A and B are shown apart, each in its own frame.
Chain A
């Protein structure tokens, strides 16, 4: 019985990781961009939401809703002004630029908000739980998981059933041919990063409500997110959810054996998948 409980908790934790990873997966799938600042962008969005709550007195949900268009604009600008200039065959320039961005964001937040731990108040939801008969689950983890599934459903709908999604896929396949169709690849990339930042804001809301955060925790979230993306396979959003769940379950199983092994178990699951399937479980695009 305890194992079923652990498994369920792991799957729900996987939802959080999938949420961290969904935006990364979108951007990675469309433009092969490795954004090493992704984790720090989640933390940045969490502070943005926190400001809305503390300074403007908004509820966390409303604050996140306000933050989303701001983050979209930020992502759009970031892609247009910085990242579009370094995209190319060589992966080194984008890697280095986003690494620089990561360090800049971390220390900017440190300067603005100090190293103190913060939390977005979630009110009555914080400790609430739901008895599902076989297991009892926290309302917050459940909500996170449902949000992750909803976010992936929405992204998939955009990706496969709208003209914008068509442009995403076409640009991902062949940016030059997409240009000949009147699609400006750089504009498409900017929109994609903007959308990724909206998902990042949603991830930040749950990150901030579920646990304490401070400016330094971004890189660890980035690693979990990347593990989810890579396990799932390039360009597959459902694969990313599966990847998140694998990391989440491995972590909770590890923690059940020895609390110190939680993170380690997640990484080892990742390494094991990479050893068996270097391109992930459900690769969509051929790279």
Chain B
């Protein structure tokens, strides 16, 4: 009996480890300091963005330099929900996902007409256009931006319970709430991508990545696939953007649509960790955070180091740190490759 499976021993061990990590993560606010919670929030949100960009570029072959458009529009939609509609910030976060989705439709319609480098530049220009248009939105502070009103941030759903539970102040409770939401988001995003890659869609993606024509000829609709990946990534990026700016509670077009923060860093994380793997961004975000902590006092030296590191990795280890590790050890924590199992297969090595 042969069976097609993606299960490996390392994969099962990972599942158990992740379960434990998530449980610890949920309980962490009981012991961790506020600054640690904030750091973790940063790590988790950057990881989410990195996984999503990795889905686009590493699996979907869509090298976008314009993901800041979706972070920004998601954040602004959340602010609009709070300031203009009077919604609770937490309920306004899905609005961010929706807005990003709606922006992604015309963006994809336009950008998919462009190939390769043109696509990259095209998405960047669209992000710039969105930033400039949002800067015209006077109700949300125009070019200088605005803050979430104090009444809205003080009464965010669940913060009272958190205050009572952990005995913390209002602002700290908001951080804990944001952290939990970030945890949910990163688990959902990673699990979702993992599920996607193991599904038929993932097989089709791999086929398209390897050879578009061949994939088309066996009935894979590459166009539809690109649309699906782009829209999913955009909506989830919008949710993440909304969450990030719910935590900071202050927004401006330059911050929300920053190509450095929401695209450059994210690309560096993916590249350093290893593009086209789920493990890569996780490793990448840890390296990114450690560098940031070590070099935080040196200002621009930190970014220079990051830039140089990305160049060096691209030159000497294009599969990233995780690529180095997995080729040496054969380890796959998130197995997506299908293998035949059962009785010994002739010629297998």
Interface-centre pick from B63, B143, B311 (highest chain A CB count, 10 A): B311
Contacts of B311 in A (CB 8 A): 82, 97, 100-101, 104
Partner of A267, one of B115, B132, B264, B275: B132
Contacts of B121 in A (CB 8 A): 34, 223, 226-227, 230
Q: Of the 9-residue stretches A41-49, A64-72, A87-95, which lies at the interface with chain B?
A: A87-95
Partner of B63, one of A91, A102, A103, A106: A91
Smallest Cβ distance from B214 to chain A, in angstroms? 16
Q: Are B128 and A223 in contact (CB under 8 A)?
A: yes
Q: Are B133 and A103 in contact (CB under 8 A)?
A: no
Contacts of A32 in B (CB 8 A): 117
Of residues 260 through 276 on chain B, the ones whose CB sits less than 8 Å from some CB of chain A are: 260, 264, 267-268, 271, 275
Nearest CB in chain B to that of A103: its residue? B307
Interface size class of A (residues with CB under 8 A): 35 or more
Asked whether any CB of chain A lies closer than 8 Å to the CB of B86, the reply is no
State the interface size on chain B (CB cutoff 8 A). 45
Pull 17 A–B residue pairs with CB atoms less than 8 Å apart, ordered by A.
A34-B121, A91-B117, A95-B63, A97-B310, A97-B314, A104-B304, A111-B300, A223-B121, A223-B125, A226-B121, A230-B121, A264-B133, A267-B128, A274-B113, A275-B110, A278-B113, A278-B118
Q: Are B314 and A93 in contact (CB under 8 A)?
A: yes
Asked whether any CB of chain A lies closer than 8 Å to the CB of B136, the reply is yes
Tell me the bound Cα distance from A117 to B52 in angstroms: 37
Contact (A107, B307) CB under 8 Å given A96-B267, A260-B136, A271-B110:
yes
Asked whether any CB of chain A lies closer than 8 Å to the CB of B116, the reply is yes
- Not counting A99-B310, A100-B307, A271-B122, a sample of 14 additional A-B residue pairs whose C-beta atoms are within 8 angstroms of each other reads A34-B117, A92-B275, A99-B65, A99-B264, A100-B314, A103-B260, A104-B304, A107-B303, A107-B307, A108-B304, A111-B300, A226-B121, A264-B132, A271-B110
Asked whether any CB of chain B lies closer than 8 Å to the CB of A17, the reply is no
Tell me the bound Cα distance from A219 to B124 in angstroms: 10
Contact (A287, B115) CB under 8 Å given A264-B132, A267-B128, A267-B129:
yes
A-contact 0/1 string along B152-168, CB 8 Å cutoff: 00000000000000000
Tell me the bound Cα distance from A159 to B266 in angstroms: 39
Tell me the bound Cα distance from A28 to B120 in angstroms: 14
Q: Are A107 and B300 in contact (CB under 8 A)?
A: yes
Smallest Cβ distance from A62 to chain B, in angstroms? 31
Q: Are B57 and A92 in contact (CB under 8 A)?
A: yes
Q: Are A271 and B125 in contact (CB under 8 A)?
A: yes
Tell me the bound Cα distance from A82 to B135 in angstroms: 38
Contacts of A255 in B (CB 8 A): none
A-contact 0/1 string along B259-295, CB 8 Å cutoff: 1100010011001000100000000000000000000
Contacts of B124 in A (CB 8 A): 223
Tell me the bound Cα distance from A91 to B307 in angstroms: 18
Asked whether any CB of chain B lies closer than 8 Å to the CB of A20, the reply is no
Nearest CB in chain A to that of B58: its residue? A92
Asked whether any CB of chain A lies closer than 8 Å to the CB of B114, the reply is yes
Asked whether any CB of chain B lies closer than 8 Å to the CB of A125, the reply is no
Q: Are B116 and A91 in contact (CB under 8 A)?
A: yes
Q: Are B63 and A92 in contact (CB under 8 A)?
A: yes
Tell me the bound Cα distance from A243 to B128 in angstroms: 19
Of residues 79 through 126 on chain B, the ones whose CB sits less than 8 Å from some CB of chain A are: 110, 113-118, 120-122, 124-126
Asked whether any CB of chain A lies closer than 8 Å to the CB of B315, the reply is yes
Of residues 297 through 315 on chain B, the ones whose CB sits less than 8 Å from some CB of chain A are: 299-304, 306-311, 314-315
Asked whether any CB of chain B lies closer than 8 Å to the CB of A85, the reply is yes
Contact (A274, B264) CB under 8 Å given A97-B314, A103-B306, A104-B304:
no
Contacts of B303 in A (CB 8 A): 103-104, 106-107
Of residues 204 through 238 on chain A, the ones whose CB sits less than 8 Å from some CB of chain B are: 219, 223, 226-227, 230
Smallest Cβ distance from B303 to chain A, in angstroms? 4
